[in-house]
Amino acid sequence: MSGHTHGHEHPHDHDHSHDHSHGGGFRGALREIFVPHTHDHASSVDDALESNRRGIRALKISLVILLATTALQLAVVAVSGSVALLADTVHNFSDALTAVPLWIAFALGRRAATRRYTFGFGRAEDLAGLFIVLVVAASAVVAAWQSIDRLVHPQPLQNLWWVLAAGVIGFLGNEIVAVYRIRVGREIGSAALVADGVHARTDGFTSLAVVLGAGGALLGFPLADPIVGLVISAAIVVLLIGTVRSIGRRLMDGIEPELVDRAEHALEHVPGILAVEDVRLRWIGHRLEGSARITAADMPLRDAAALAHEGEHAVAHALPNLDRFDVRVQPHSTSR
């Protein structure tokens, strides 16, 4: 996907674009954590491709870690019969699977825009979100069904210390993945990868709930295990509600109002802009694009173009995830 482009040179001295010579080093990573965009078109395309490659690599590594964690937990489920651990294992497996559609989305994001898909393929991330919703919903249903069945037909638990160990394994596996996804996501400017890391972190603490169920069983309350399983199912449903709301808003081109406020504030503080109207923003995958109409005094066309460029630069400062923002100038004499 293309970077933030204006079709002009701008030697402004603010530090918002990273040094293209860092080669992924520590200094370059620090510069990219919060402001990974650039205004140069050719460089931004290269950065976008490299960001997608790093995102895919992060997903590959974290997928292997989560699958290994799930396999270890599943082995303990087989010898212990813990439904709470089974619920957590199913959820961890579904979390691992959510890396697949995001992986595909990153791969599609590396493709250039075409005459059919003139905005590029960033929207693939939103379609991947729909798949994630289905997977999370399925995991909630399976976990709840298993827990209810175990409440109706209780079975003795075995190897509870192994269950405790498996819960800790689930937490550690998810936390490692969370730290890695969040770090890489920030470095490449991927909100989707950061959110997936936060999701993994939430799953990690859910794994600790399994420890509570096994602890309750050790203390003579075996129903604690299926009860905790139901709690985990409820937690998955809560997560699903938030995911559905987020994906639905993205598909409807919804935007956080505070981002619009920041864009308006940035434009209002550009000398020469008398009024700001019709600010529009939308997410395309994990990148932003938008436009605005500004009012300025009557001036030559070249000066109006320069003012529009300055407005675009100001918005780029305020919104680090911005790819493109178009400013249209209307003379004060013709404004309503």
pLDDT tens digits, 272-330: 999 999 999 998 877 789 999 999 988 899 999 999 999 999 999 998 778 889 999 98
The topology (CATH level 3) of 257-334 is Alpha-Beta Plaits (3.30.70)
pLDDT(246) > 90: no
pLDDT of 158: 65
Of 83-87, 163-167, 207-211, 239-243, the least confident: 83-87
Instruction: Give residue 8's pLDDT.
Output: 38
Q: What angle is formed at CA 163 by the lines to CA 162 and CA 168, rounded to 5 degrees? A: 95
Question: Which CATH superfamily hosts domain 40-251?
Answer: Cation efflux protein transmembrane domain (1.20.1510.10)
Q: What is the dihedral of CA 194, 196, 202, 207, to 10 degrees?
A: -130
Please check whether residue 206 is in contact with residue 88, taking contact to mean a CB–CB distance below 8 angstroms: yes
* Both structure tokens of 291: 């436009």
Average pLDDT, the chain: 75
Across the beta sheet with 322-331, the strand order is 273-284, 287-296, 322-331
C-alpha to C-alpha distance for 225 and 94, rounded to whole angstroms: 21
Q: What is the pLDDT of residues 187-232, one digit of tens each?
A: 776 767 877 777 777 777 777 777 777 777 777 777 777 787 788 7
Q: How far apart are CA 246 and CA 256, in angstroms?
A: 11
Q: Where in the chain is the domain with CATH 3.30.70.1350?
A: 257-334
Region(s) of the chain under CATH 1.20.1510.10? 40-251
What pLDDT digit, counting tens, does each position of 140-169 carry? 787 788 778 777 877 666 667 777 887 888
Task: Identify each DSSP E strand in the chain by its residue range.
Answer: 273-284, 287-296, 322-331
Cα–Cα distances in angstroms (integers) from residue 199 to residues 91, 239, 240, 285, in the given order: 11, 9, 11, 18
Closest to 55 measured CA to CA, from 186, 154, 236, 223: 186
Q: Residue 98: is its pLDDT beyond 50? A: yes
Q: What angle do helix axes 83-97 and 124-152 make, rounded to 10 degrees?
A: 170
